[in-house]
């Protein structure tokens, strides 16, 4: 009996001692980050059978366990990962928002100053100071585009550097988790069946830190280790084996940092951006994909819209020397990057923004087509004809010699202008790309088979595929009705699997510049003038007119010096005869009050009731120093809808001015910044709630621990008292034996 009672007392003493030690450990770590309170798991010893029944043999401590909830831990990790993702995103987007929305340093004031200078020029077209002021304002506007783009590029470079920094931190954390797994294995081997609680807390804290940098899933294994996965199941830690991340130049964009994963068993592959979610790294990747690329591309789109539209009108005007205007702005071509994985390194893809008009003449059998932007000639073409993203079709057969001007930049239904001197009733139609159809997206071009291409618009992942009789023909077919650019194939033939990244507007704002430096070269005047003969006896009047198209620095069919175009009214027709030549234009003053006429690239109108023999003349504007007609057209660009304000190229109609397109960019970025801010606040609240719930379960409550300490102290004292009683009884037994 004595030994049984003694053992019971000793077991109680030991249990109380472990309870005091565990409670003391909890109190000591009350402020330790990531610590989960511990408790002893106490159980009765196996009872002893006697004739009087089963007699208890005291207690034992089976283990020291953590008070831990996997569910609450996962909630905390997810919320904290979302908070850090939002914080990283917000820190970056606020820079872009503040930059573009700045009332002084943004684009709006520079654009307003430029168009004010153009309007001042229209008020005084012969003034050299006004012309110089226009050039200076244009240079300031170009510099503003460049400075905004440079600042955005600095943000891009900063994102790349921060991503590399995040990769270093992630690699150090996963290495530490792998080491912790090794220590867990050794600890479990030293104490079979027991868990190294403090080591598990340390490992959980490492996992929590990892989730602030990238969302990671921890999967517990039977041997006590945890495997760590990111993205869509890419392993970072498997037992004690650790993968690493590496920041590398993107396969298709030298200005972008991509992330590759390196297996400990060899091999490396790039991770998709969709696989890099959560944490600071996920926030940086999301910001770049959703906001940064679009901001830079759309800024370039506005610069391109300004340059192409201004150039087109400027080239239809005349400078102080009587010479047709040249390009006012210079812009860069679209960026095309070949993938680093392409097998055919010699394959060259070049892209070009095409905003040209086309002159189409029916020669009796087929069509002679001239691209007016550079004078390129395509004789003997059959319709439908496709090039440069533009398709021209025939709606009805014309007569030989009939002339049409195709203007892809005009709204649908207004893209084909028939010369008023055409003798036939035939017509053409045109569909295809134009400046308004460009959006802020990048594109990926993939060679998927012999003479087969696939184009993906990355902004919304819209995909087009096409084939053709040759690789170039397949490219042409692919770009039918696609927005805003053409592509040309050169070099060695591509190999199936080759890929190219096309960025139509990425570098336009960075490289826009004023192409002229002589104020006299500003084409403020119209290159021709209209007049009615002084001898006219009727009531007809001719408008000042405008140039409907130009071609490669020339007005190919407009009046040459000393060679006027004359329209003479003949009431017997009734209508006008056009000289030189013998063409007639029907016009009956009895039933018509006005007629719009296009002759040899010049558009004007005649109204009223001319008399037979009345003459109207179109002549070169040789002395048009004070003519402001073209500068008025240039100033009107400010309020003209020349861009597509939609968020994607679902509509090719021009529905936004330059300023409204810029305002939409600022508005979208501001709204996104607010969305991310609100999301971050919501996630912060969720993280606080989850952390509080976890702390209530697993955290150390000092009041509770004080009560436990008192409980175990009393248990220890009681067990010690029992030992004292056993000792007294044992002494009495010894005395009886003596």
**Dihedral of the CA atoms 449, 452, 455, 456 (nearest 10)?**
-40
* DSSP conformational letter for 580: T
Is the same domain home to 192 and 85? Answer: yes
Give me the percent of the chain exceeding a pLDDT of 90.
Answer: 44
| Short-list 527, 321, 301, CA closest to 435 | 301
Span 657-670, average pLDDT:
93
pLDDT score at 480: 59
Residue at 24 is within a domain: yes
At residue 582, does pLDDT exceed 70? yes
Which of 181-190, 249-258, 430-439 is least confident?
430-439
Same structural domain, 78 and 44:
no
455 pLDDT above the threshold of 80: yes
369 plus 478 within the same structural domain: yes
pLDDT in tens, 256-269: 999 999 998 888 99
pLDDT at residue 674, as a whole number:
96
User: Is 276's pLDDT higher than 70?
Assistant: yes
Domain end call among 290, 321, 344: 290
Give the rounded distance of the alpha carbon of 702 from its chain centre. Answer: 52
**pLDDT (tens digit per residue) in 437-452:** 677 888 888 988 888 8
Distance CA 713, CA 721 (A): 12
Encoded tokens for 639? 């309020």
687 domain residue, yes or no: no
Are 45 and 77 contained in the same domain? no
Sign of CA dihedral 708, 710, 716, 721: negative
DSSP class of residue 318?
B
- How much is the pLDDT for 694? 87
Query: With 80 as the cut, is the pLDDT of residue 484 above it?
Result: no
* Residue 437: cis peptide before it, omega within 30 degrees of 0: no
Q: How many of the other CB atoms lie within 10 Å of CB of 671?
A: 11
Identify the pLDDT of residue 589. Answer: 92
pLDDT of amino acid 564: 83
Domain identity same for 532 and 609 = yes
* Lowest mean pLDDT segment, chosen from 143-157, 555-569, 596-610: 555-569
Domain's final residue, options 620, 643, 662: 620
Least confident of 219-233, 268-282, 357-371: 357-371
Question: What local confidence, expressed as pLDDT, does residue 258 receive?
Answer: 94
478 and 544 part of one domain? no
pLDDT score, position 411: 61
Rounded to 10 degrees, the C-alpha dihedral 393/395/398/401 comes to -30
Q: Which among 272, 290, 308 is the end of a domain?
A: 290
Q: How confident is the model at residue 562 (pLDDT cuts 50, 70, 90)?
A: low
What integer is the mean pLDDT of 609-638? 89
- What's the pLDDT score for residue 511? 95
For residues 83-98, average pLDDT: 96
Helix, strand, coil shares of the chain, percent, nearest 5, are: 40, 25, 35
Domain count, the chain: 4
Using CB atoms within 10 Å of the CB of residue 328, give its burial: 0 to 12 exposed, 13 to 18 middle, 19+ buried.
buried
**What is the spatial distance between Cα 132 and Cα 401, in angstroms, rounded to a whole number?**
44
Task: Tell me: do 500 and 422 sit in the same domain.
Answer: yes
Structure tokens at 480: 């039918």
What confidence tier does 84 reach under pLDDT thresholds 50, 70, 90? very high
What is the secondary structure of 92-125 as a DSSP string?
HHHHHHHHHH-TTTSHHHHHHHHHHHHHHHHHST
Beta strands 335-338 and 358-362, pairing class: unpaired
Q: For residue range 630-660, list pLDDT tens digits in order.
A: 999 999 999 988 887 654 444 445 678 999 9
Residue-level pLDDT at 194: 84
Listed residue (708, 695, 544) closest to 627, CA to CA: 544
**51 with 86, same domain?**
no
Structural element, H or E, at residue 431:
strand 427-432
- Please indicate whether residue 189 or residue 478 has the higher confidence score (pLDDT): 189
Helices (H), 191-236: 197-211
Q: What is the mean pLDDT of residues 677-692?
A: 92
Q: How confident is the model at residue 492 (pLDDT cuts 50, 70, 90)?
A: confident
> Would you place residue 182 in the very low, low, confident or very high pLDDT band (cuts 50, 70, 90)?
very high
Question: Does 643 reside within a domain?
Answer: no
Q: Does residue 567 share a domain with residue 494?
A: no
Considering the chain, what percentage of its residues have pLDDT values greater than 70?
92
pLDDT in the model for residue 394: 85
Q: Dihedral sign, CA of 294, 305, 507, 269?
A: positive
Determine the Cα–Cα distance for residues 512 and 327; give it in Å rounded to an integer.
12
- Cα distance between residue 282 and residue 285, in whole Å: 5
Alpha-carbon torsion (97, 100, 103, 105), positive or negative: positive
Mean pLDDT of all residues in 722-730? 82
**Host H or E run for residue 704:** helix 702-737
Q: Give pLDDT tens digits for 336-347.
A: 888 888 887 766
More confident residue, 654 or 571: 571
Burial level of 239, CB count in 10 A (0-12/13-18/19+)?
middle
Are 582 and 467 contained in the same domain? no
Categorize the per-residue pLDDT at 551 as very low, low, confident or very high, splitting at 50, 70 and 90: low
Give the max Cα distance, the chain.
162
Which residue range forms the structural domain that includes residue 62? 2-67+699-737
User: What confidence tier does 278 reach under pLDDT thresholds 50, 70, 90?
Assistant: very high
Cα separation, 441 vs 297, in Å, equals 7
In-domain check, residue 283: yes
- CB of 36 within 8 A of CB of 61? no
What pLDDT, on a 0 to 100 scale, did the predictor assign at position 649?
43
- Provide the β-strand partners of residue 318: 324, 525
Work out the angle between the directed axes of helices 128-190 and 279-287 (0-180°, nearest 10). 160
Q: Is the pLDDT of residue 412 over 70?
A: no
| Residue 497 within any structural domain of the chain | yes
pLDDT tens figures, 115-154: 999 999 999 999 999 999 999 999 999 999 999 999 999 9
User: 219 in a domain, yes or no?
Assistant: yes
- Mean pLDDT for the stretch of residues 673-699: 91
Instruction: Place 737 in a pLDDT band, splitting at 50, 70 and 90.
Output: low
91 and 62 belong to one structural domain? no
CA 329 to each of CA 183, 306, 312, 439, 515: distance values in angstroms, whole numbers, following the listed order: 67, 9, 10, 21, 5
CA gap 24, 713 in Å, rounded: 12
First and final C-alpha spacing in the chain: 20
Please state the pTM of the whole predicted model.
0.85
**Is 120 inside a domain boundary?**
no
- Let me know if residue 715 belongs to a domain: yes
Q: Verify that 28 and 146 share a domain, yes or no.
A: no
């Amino acid at each position: 009996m004595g030994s049984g009672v003694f053992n019971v007392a000793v077991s109680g003493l030991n249990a109380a001692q472990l309870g005091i030690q565990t409670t003391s450990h909890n109190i000591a770590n009350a402020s330790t980050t990531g610590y989960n309170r511990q408790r002893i798991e106490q159980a009765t010893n196996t009872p002893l059978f006697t004739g009087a029944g089963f007699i208890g043999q005291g207690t034992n401590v089976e283990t020291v366990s953590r008070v831990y909830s996997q569910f609450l831990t996962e909630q905390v990790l997810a919320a904290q990962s979302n908070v850090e993702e939002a914080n990283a995103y917000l820190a970056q987007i606020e820079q872009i928002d503040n930059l573009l929305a700045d009332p002084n340093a943004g684009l709006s004031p520079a654009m307003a100053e430029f168009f004010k200078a153009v309007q001042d020029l229209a008020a005084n077209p012969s003034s050299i100071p006004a012309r110089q002021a226009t050039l200076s304002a244009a240079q300031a506007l170009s510099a503003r585009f460049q400075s905004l783009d440079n600042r955005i590029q600095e943000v891009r470079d900063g994102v790349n550097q921060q991503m590399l920094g995040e990769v270093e931190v992630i690699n150090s954390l996963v290495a530490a988790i792998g080491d912790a797994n090794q220590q867990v294995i050794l600890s479990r081997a030293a104490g079979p069946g027991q868990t190294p609680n403090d080591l598990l807390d340390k490992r959980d804290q490492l996992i929590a830190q990892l989730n602030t940098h990238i969302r990671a899933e921890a999967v517990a294994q039977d041997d006590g280790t945890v495997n760590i996965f990111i993205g869509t199941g890419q392993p970072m830690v498997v037992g004690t084996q650790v993968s690493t991340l590496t920041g590398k130049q993107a396969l298709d964009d030298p200005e972008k940092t991509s992330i590759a994963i390196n297996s400990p068993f060899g091999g490396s592959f790039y991770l998709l951006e969709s696989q890099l979610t959560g944490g600071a790294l996920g926030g940086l990747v999301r910001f770049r994909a959703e906001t940064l690329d679009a901001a830079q591309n759309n800024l370039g789109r506005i610069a391109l819209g300004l340059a192409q539209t201004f150039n087109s009108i400027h080239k239809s005007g005349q400078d102080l020397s009587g010479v047709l205007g040249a390009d006012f702005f210079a812009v860069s071509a679209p960026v095309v990057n070949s993938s680093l994985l392409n097998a055919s390194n010699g394959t060259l893809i070049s892209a070009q923004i095409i905003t040209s008009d086309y002159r189409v003449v029916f020669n009796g059998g087929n069509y002679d087509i001239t691209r007016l932007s550079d004078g390129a000639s395509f004789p003997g073409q059959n319709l439908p004809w496709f090039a440069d993203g533009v398709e021209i079709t025939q709606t009805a057969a014309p007569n030989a010699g009939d002339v049409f001007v195709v203007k892809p930049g005009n709204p649908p239904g207004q893209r084909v202008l028939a010369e008023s001197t055409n003798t036939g009733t035939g017509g053409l139609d045109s569909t295809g790309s134009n400046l308004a159809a460009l959006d802020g997206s990048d594109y990926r071009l993939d060679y998927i088979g012999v003479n087969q291409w696939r184009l993906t618009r990355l902004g919304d992942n819209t995909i087009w595929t096409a084939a053709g009789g040759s690789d170039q023909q397949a490219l042409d077919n692919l770009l039918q009705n696609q927005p805003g650019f053409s592509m040309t194939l050169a070099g060695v033939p591509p190999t199936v699997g080759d890929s190219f990244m096309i960025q139509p507007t990425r570098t336009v704002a960075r490289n826009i510049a004023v192409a002229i430096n002589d104020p006299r070269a500003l084409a403020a005047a119209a290159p021709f003038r209209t007049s009615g003969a002084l001898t006219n006896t009727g009531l007809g009047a001719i408008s000042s007119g405008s140039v409907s198209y130009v071609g490669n620095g020339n007005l190919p069919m407009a009046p040459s010096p000393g060679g006027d175009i004359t329209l003479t009214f003949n009431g017997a027709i009734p209508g006008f005869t056009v000289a030189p030549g013998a063409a007639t234009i029907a016009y009956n003053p009895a039933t018509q009050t006005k007629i719009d006429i296009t002759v040899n690239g010049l558009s004007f109108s005649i109204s009223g009731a001319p008399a037979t023999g009345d003459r109207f003349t179109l002549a070169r504007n040789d002395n048009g120093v004070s003519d402001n007609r073209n500068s008025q057209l240039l100033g009107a660009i400010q309020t003209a809808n020349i861009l597509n304000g939609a968020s994607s190229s679902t509509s090719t109609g021009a529905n936004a001015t330059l300023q409204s397109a810029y305002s939409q960019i600022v508005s979208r970025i501001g709204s996104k910044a607010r969305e991310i801010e609100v999301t971050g606040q919501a996630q912060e609240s969720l993280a606080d709630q989850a952390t509080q719930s976890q702390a209530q379960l697993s955290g150390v409550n000092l009041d509770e621990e004080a009560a436990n300490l008192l409980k175990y102290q009393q248990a220890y004292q009681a067990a010690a008292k029992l030992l004292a009683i056993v000792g007294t009884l044992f002494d009495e037994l010894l005395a009886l034996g003596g």
